[in-house]
Structure formats: C-alpha cells, structure tokens
Amino acid sequence: MTGPRTAVEDRTRFLVRRDHPWWRVLAVAGILLAWELFARAGWVPVLFLPSPIGVLREGADMVVSGEIVTHLAASLQRLVFGFVLGAALGIAVGVAVGFFSIAEAVGTPVIAATFPIPKIALLPLLILWLGLGEASKIAVIALGVFFPMAINTYTGVRQADPLLVRAAVAFGARRWSVIRKVMLPSALPMIFAGLRLGAGTALLLLVAAEMIAVESGIGFLVLHAGNLMQTTKLMVGIVLLSLLGVLSHWSLNRLERLAIPWRHDH
C-alpha cells in the first residue's frame, strides 16, 4: 500500500523541564548590578538602601575589627544550645507520644493547644521566669524547635510500616528494641523535615530574643545598627543572617544524607 508518509513527532517536548544554571547566576548578578547602579546614580538614598559594594566594604571592616566573630560566636552559641535542647526534647516526647497510648492521650491535646501560640509572644514571660540572661533566650529558641520536632517525630513513629514492626517482633524484638530499631529509623525522614522547620524558627526567635538585654549577636547587630541608623552595618547583619540560614539548611541536608543513606520512597 502506498501513500503519503507522516512521521511520528514527540508531543511531550514542551513538558521537558531543564535546568538553567546560567540564568540563575545571571539573575542574581543582574540584581546586584542594578542595585549598585541605582545607589551610585542616587535614585535611592544610600541611607535607605546601602549599595552592595558599600555593604561588602563595611563587612570587610567588621571582619578585620573582629566584630563579626564576636557577634557570630554569641549567636551561634545561643542557636546551637537552643536547637539541640529543643530537638532532643522534641524527639523524646514525639517517640513517647507515638508509642505509648497513655502518653498519646495526654500529649496530643496539650501539644495541639500550645503549638499555635507564637513563641515570640512567650518571650516576656520567659524573661520573667528565667531572667534577662542567656537562659531565657536559649529557652525561647528551644521552645520554637521543640514543637515541630515533637509533632514530626510523632507522625514519623506512627507511620512506621506495621509489616516491619511485625517482622521485628517475629525475630524476638520487645518494646524498646522496636522503638530503637524500627520506629526511630522509620521516623528519621520526618525527623529531618522537623529539623529543617525548626532551624528556620530558631533563627527567627534568635533575632527576637537578641532584641532585649544583649550586647552581642547578629540579631543584636541588626537592631543596634538600626537604632543608630547605621544602615550599612544593618545590611551586613542581614546578610549574615541570610548566610546563617543558608548554612544551617545546607548542613542539615548533608547530615541527612549521612544519616539516611537508604532511599526513603515510602
């Protein structure tokens, strides 16, 4: 049979999503360039929006004077203590509530009632109870991390594959073995999701906590520079905060890759 031939064309071509690494780089560079030009042309007063190069220069000065190290160290200390404390407590409570029915009956309403309270609002109370020193600041950060960790760990534990639990019991595992060897590893992906959420909250609360009665820290730097109307320094502080956020996200991702070497495709 002869006749006109028609080729079969790939109709899914428009659905293909490619990565555009050069666009990303150009976009960021473009914004920075435009920003610098605006500042130089005087279209935006430098006091209101410091130029990128001005910010870099100020940052370099601050590195040399040692200011950055002081502030970073103070903030990191509060962040790490608060984060570790909140995460440890959150995981413990999450496992307890996920595994023991009485703990669940007691825990879930309490957590549901207290979780929606913005932790920033609790800061004055914490200061009253724990004083103006480091304790109240670490406590508010820990509280902010506790809730996502507890909730995510609980969910992760409840989601543990019942087949695996049965298999573990079939091979002789008792309560603590099941928790340690099946439920916790099952919950690890959810736990890391909680850690990432917690990291964001921790940074936010760090800045809020550093608004009162501190003499160093990145949040303090931002606030202090704001009070003094030293807007370039303020921008350095903001850049540092952003870097802290990126760094914590990146390190959590690496940590997750180390801790969860198996694929989790459930």
Partner 1 sequence: MTRWLVALLLLATLAAPAAAADTVKVGVLKLTSSAPLFIGVEKGFFKEFGVEPELVFFQAAAPIATALAAGQVDVGATGLTAALYNIVLGGEKIWVVADKGREWPGYPLTAIVVRKELYDGGLRGVTDLKGKRIGITQLGSTFHYHLGNVLEKHGLTLNDVKIVPLQAMGAAMEALKGRQVDAIMLPQPFPGTAEAQGFGRILAWGGDLFPWQIAAVFYAKKFAADRDRAVSFMKGYAKSSRYYHDAVLVQKDGRVVQGKRYDEVVAITAKYTGAKPEVIRLGFPYQDRNGRLLTQDLARQIDWWVKHGFMKSPLSLSDVVDTRFLELALKDLRE
Partner 2 sequence: MRVVVDRVSKTYTDRSGRSIDALRDVAFTVEAEEFVALLGPSGCGKSTLLNIIAGLLAPTGGGVWFDGDRTGTGDAMLSAMVFQEFALFPWRTAQKNVEFGLEEAGVPAAERATRARRYIELTGLAGFETRYPHQLSGGMRQRVGIARALAVEPAVLLMDEPFSALDAQTRQLMQEELLGIWDRTRKTILYVTHNIQEAVYMADRVVVLSRRPGQVLAEVPIELDRPRTEHMAGEPAFIEAADHIWSLIKAQARAAIAE
Residues that bind partner 2 (CB under 8 A): 163-164, 166-174, 177, 181-182, 185, 188, 260-265
Taking Cα atoms as reference points, which of 148, 156, 154, 157 lies closest to residue 195?
A: 148
Q: Which does 88 bind (CB under 5 to 8 A by kind): partner 2, partner 1, none?
A: none
- Residues in contact with partner 1, counted by CB under 8 A, come to a total of 19
* Alpha-carbon radius of gyration of the chain: 25
Q: Which does 3 bind (CB under 5 to 8 A by kind): partner 2, partner 1, none?
A: none
Taking CB under 8 A as the criterion, the residue among 170, 229, 258, 265 binding partner 1 is 229
**Distance separating alpha carbons of residues 95 and 180, to the nearest angstrom:** 10
Rule CB under 8 A: say whether 215 interacts with partner 1. Answer: yes
Percent of the chain that is helix, strand, coil (3-state, to 5) = 75, 0, 25
Q: At what angle do helices 184-209 and 218-227 cross, to 10 degrees?
A: 20
CB 221 within 8 A of CB 232: no
Beta carbon of residue 224, minimum distance to partner 1 (angstroms, whole number): 6
Rule CB under 8 A: say whether 47 interacts with partner 1. Answer: yes
CB 66 within 8 A of CB 194: no
Per-position x/- string for 74-93, each x denoting binding to partner 1 as judged by CB under 8 A, each - no binding: --------------------
Burial of 112 (0-12, 13-18, 19+ CB in 10 A): exposed
CB 28 within 8 A of CB 246: no
Beta carbon of residue 217, minimum distance to partner 1 (angstroms, whole number): 12
Q: Which does 228 bind (CB under 5 to 8 A by kind): partner 2, partner 1, none?
A: partner 1
CB 157 within 8 A of CB 99: yes
Taking Cα atoms as reference points, which of 133, 135, 150 lies closest to residue 86?
A: 150
Taking CB under 8 A as the criterion, the residue among 69, 73, 105, 128 binding partner 1 is 128
Q: Which does 106 bind (CB under 5 to 8 A by kind): partner 2, partner 1, none?
A: none
Beta carbon of residue 214, minimum distance to partner 1 (angstroms, whole number): 8
Beta carbon of residue 47, minimum distance to partner 1 (angstroms, whole number): 4
Beta carbon of residue 265, minimum distance to partner 1 (angstroms, whole number): 50
Q: Which stretch binds partner 1 (CB under 8 A): 18-26, 125-133, 181-189, 250-258?
A: 125-133
Beta carbon of residue 83, minimum distance to partner 1 (angstroms, whole number): 25
Taking Cα atoms as reference points, which of 206, 200, 93 lies closest to residue 146?
A: 93
Rule CB under 8 A: say whether 44 interacts with partner 1. Answer: no
What does DSSP assign to residue 179? Answer: I
The dihedral formed by the CA atoms of 30, 34, 35 and 36, expressed in degrees to the nearest 10:
100
- Residue ranges that bind partner 1, judged by CB under 8 A: 45-48, 127-128, 131-132, 211-215, 224, 227-231
